[in-house]
Amino acid sequence: MLDLHCHILPGIDDGAQNMEDSLDLARKAVSQGITHILCTPHHHNGTYTNHKADVIVKVAELQRELDLRGIPLTLFEGQEVRIFPEILEEIKKEDILFCDMEDRYLLIEFPSREAPNYALNLLGELVAEGKIPIIVHPERNGTFIKTPNKLIDYLELGCLAQITAPSIVGRFGKTIQETAEKMVEHNLVQMVASDAHHVKKRTFYMKEAFEVIQNHFGQEKVELFQQTAKDVLNGDDVLKPSIERITEKKKFWRF
Ligand code: FE
């Protein structure tokens, strides 16, 4: 199993604080059946800035520690990039890490309350440059919780969206869980990843999330999500099942 979103690198964001935390996360990942992790520290989110060159060094260091201990996990370099107006310039300056070697897919985080009004234009510009933004955890964003169909505008541009495993198993509460389920059901998200930060406080739940997806939406969806994760890491095209608009159930009042 692949995990495309994880704060496993030690001491550079609000994830693992030291090597011991990182190794705990790594062992937990292995116990979940995870074989490859895209290391995605926060970048440019107002609190943490993790430049491409620094992330590459940190990943190599942690990989060495894993190999020394025989922990069977392969790491790749990435970033969780908070949306900011100068992203294109930063890409041109080679300070942004992508999910793949072809520099096609990148993780984009929106502020938790809303989708900024410049977001649609900006992500459109990225797509025009051949980049494919993957919007992370839309089910935890205020705008998309209120109106999940607003995500469709971004998907129609060519963006993808990634749900967080703990959301769909209910670790962030009922509303987020229901939003996550609706998004999976209607093909508004194309993959699942852990966004794990800490082995106790915010762990993987990947195995559990795939169990929920399997039980509610079937094996085909599980396989599609897993294939999409592979395709993203390889920089290949992904299969996108057609998007269905979410319609609210009508309420009938008897009195
Ligand atoms: Fe994250």
User: 252 alpha carbon to ligand 1 midpoint, in Å?
Assistant: 40
- Give residue 81's pLDDT band: very low, low, confident or very high (50, 70, 90): very high
Q: Looking at residue 248, what is its pLDDT?
A: 75
pTM of the model as a whole: 0.96
Q: What DSSP assignment string belongs to 92-155?
A: HTT----SSTTS-EEEEE--SS---TTHHHHHHHHHHTT-EEEEE-GGGSHHHHH-TTHHHHHH
Residues with CB in 5 Å of ion ligand 1: 80, 195
Q: What DSSP assignment string belongs to 151-220?
A: HHHHHHHT-EEEEEHHHHTTTT-HHHHHHHHHHHHTTS--EEE--B-BTTTB---HHHHHHHHHHHH-HH
- Give residue 236's pLDDT band: very low, low, confident or very high (50, 70, 90): very high
Q: Please provide the average confidence, as pLDDT, over all residues in the chain.
A: 96
Task: List, for residues 82-135, the tens digit of each pLDDT value.
Answer: 999 999 999 999 999 999 999 999 999 999 999 999 999 999 999 999 999 999
User: 13 alpha carbon to ligand 1 midpoint, in Å?
Assistant: 10
pLDDT at 255 over 70: no
CATH of domain 2-231: 3.20.20.140
Task: List, for residues 189-232, the tens digit of each pLDDT value.
Answer: 999 999 999 999 999 999 999 999 999 999 999 999 999 999 99
pLDDT at 252 over 90: no
Task: List, for residues 142-179, the tens digit of each pLDDT value.
Answer: 999 999 999 999 999 999 999 999 999 999 999 999 99
User: 42 alpha carbon to ligand 1 midpoint, in Å?
Assistant: 7
pLDDT at 251 over 70: no
Q: Looking at residue 254, what is its pLDDT?
A: 73
pLDDT at 241 over 80: yes
User: 254 alpha carbon to ligand 1 midpoint, in Å?
Assistant: 45
User: 164 alpha carbon to ligand 1 midpoint, in Å?
Assistant: 9
